[in-house]
Amino acid sequence: MKMRAAIVTLLFAGMNLLAVAGGVQAQAWSGPRPDQNLAGDQPGYEPSAQEEELPAEFRTQPVFFRTTEPPGTIVVNTSERFLYLVQGNNRALRYGIGVGREGFQWSGLKRIDRKAEWPDWTPPPEMIERQPYLPRFMAGGAGNPMGARALYIQGTVYRIHGTNQPWTIGSAVSSGCFRLTNPDVTDLYERVPVGTRVVVLQPPKL
């Protein structure tokens, strides 16, 4: 009788351990992280407010920034993973960003030619070829990979936009666009008009 009770106790203990382990696993996985080497888009995923809290280094902040660009210019430094909005007097607002992964980075001098709130998303054929699971069209919303706002860069397929994957800020994961958290891109959107000058810097390859 005592042996049977001991066996039952062990069985329940084992079941509890499995339940706890399963609960921990379910709680920990809220989307791929950079260290998991899963950089694919996640249409439909809605980030929590906690996930949109960036590490201190990538939070929007005023910084010293020496440049000859006029106030109001956007300067993107791909190697630093920062976007600067020039304020004048050697100052700028600095935003943490995600940039294009290897093979999708670029540089140049452009302008913003369109702005959109909660933009729709139509992945280009090249992106669908790389990620066949993507929808061919997705209406704007909290789960849209384009995020809350988009600034369209003239003469390119690239945009400065929000993201539903805030943990990718500071990483090289995109197909050439520059992504910010939704709160940050909303702040930037309100500060820059159509016609804003955009300078994209990329260090030369050695």
177 catalytic residue (yes or no): yes
**Among 161, 164, 170, 180, the one annotated catalytic:** 161
Residue 85 · residue 184 · CB < 8 Å? no
**Among 93, 112, 169, 177, the one annotated catalytic:** 177
What is the distance between the alpha carbons of residues 189 and 168, in angstroms, rounded to a whole number?
20
Catalytic residues: 161, 177
